[in-house]
A and B are shown apart, each in its own frame.
Chain A
């Protein structure tokens, strides 16, 4: 741990047109779950700027290994083994350390371990589907998992989710909280998906597509996908002003 002044600056205004709008009728579930009135804005107070800290001490040895963290002793999850890694940055392009990154996903057949998922693809007895880690001092994270499958879902009569991994990211302030999904480079299903298409800007969608990285691949073991994440940036405060500038 480095000694550092606490960060107390407010966050940059969220660019809401870069995010999907609340009401996006192609994704039918949004229709009755979308607020219709304008959200109210005010300058950040400490209630927005502050947030909890999660220490590495809480992590279990297998928390970032979904191939093993639910598997019986001596067994592992079925599916293409992949490493997912990346860096958490803020909008000022600064690495964000000590970020809790949580992830969950379907198994290799596209089935979630959840009583409400009735897809006919089988459960994998050795795959639970959740994991977590905390970014290091340079904002880096990584985990080992199996590549999830695509699956059909009730929206239109033939809508399918592309293979994806859900991410929940906890930055340093409560209003930096972000939940999103990672997709895989080259998957033609991405552009068909009504949930993906809630995002209005193609360039924004492209930032959710992880890129295959053969150099980070573990030979004879697991391919690697890089997925960087950008959280809201915060203003620098007087405390942070350095002689060399910010």
Chain B
């Protein structure tokens, strides 16, 4: 016998369930008056630096149906590639940009809409610049452990082609599952939980 490590085990996950919006976005499910507004609704204000964009997301299940009871949180750097976080060692991020957003989808269409800015580039641990990206966390009924993935930008072909994460994917045919095409100021990102077009999810 050796000494034991004084480590604890992470609390196991359980599904967010069908009523996650009661807890995390109560104002959109008719529980008003508890919080003045739902957290994560506004990422930008009129002083935020950077290019304003709209990101529209949808989540599809293995039958190809749009999921309408999910919740997505996003996390991204500011226009200069800095995170608005105490763990950001490189400098102070734009104080007018939270970097964090949380949305429920439209209950009819299943579309999530984030009003944000295009992020700058953030280095990989070895110093190479990553392509601009947004980190996602997806929870819903039927998802036992929150899903982690990233959205990259369709008009950043050059940066995407050298991105340290995208280039390490064994199956390069799956890279497009992480890239959102641009139309005007709007990027559209479809997430497929299963099937031929299954999105690349991360265990990081």
Looking at B48-56, B118-126, B154-162, the stretch in contact with chain A turns out to be: B118-126
Chain A binding surface, main DSSP class? loop
Q: Which of B31, B63, B73 has the most CB of A within 10 A?
A: B31
Give the total of B residues in contact with A, Cβ under 8 Å. Answer: 79
Question: In the bound complex, do residue A8 and residue B89 qualify as a contact, i.e. CB atoms below 8 Å apart?
Answer: yes
A131 CB to closest chain B CB (Å) equals 8
Are A20 and B89 CB-contacts (below 8 A) given A32-B61, A40-B203, A50-B83? no
A208 near B14 with CB under 8 A, answer yes
A-B pairs with beta carbons under 8 A, tally:
273
Given A51-B75, A166-B16: A128 touches B144 (CB 8 Å cut-off) = no
**Chain B residues with Cβ under 8 A from A168's Cβ?**
16, 20, 23-24
Q: Are A230 and B89 in contact (CB under 8 A)?
A: no
Chain B interface secondary structure, helix, strand, loop or mixed?
loop
Q: Which of A35, A37, A113 is the one whose CB lies under 8 Å from B22? A: A113
Residue among A8, A27, A104 with max Cβ neighbours from chain B (10 Å): A104
Give Cα A222–Cα B19 distance, bound, in whole angstroms.
Answer: 26
Q: B9 is contacted by which of A174, A198, A204 (Cβ under 8 Å)?
A: A204
Which residues of B20-71 have CB atoms within 8 Å of chain A's CB atoms?
Answer: 20-24, 26, 29-31, 33-36, 39, 61-63, 67, 69
A229 within 8 A of B: yes
Give the B-binding residues of A (Cβ under 8 A).
Answer: 6-8, 14-16, 18-22, 24, 27, 29-37, 39-54, 58, 60, 62-63, 69-70, 89-93, 102-104, 112-117, 128-132, 166, 168-169, 172-175, 177-181, 195-196, 198-199, 204-205, 207-208, 229-233
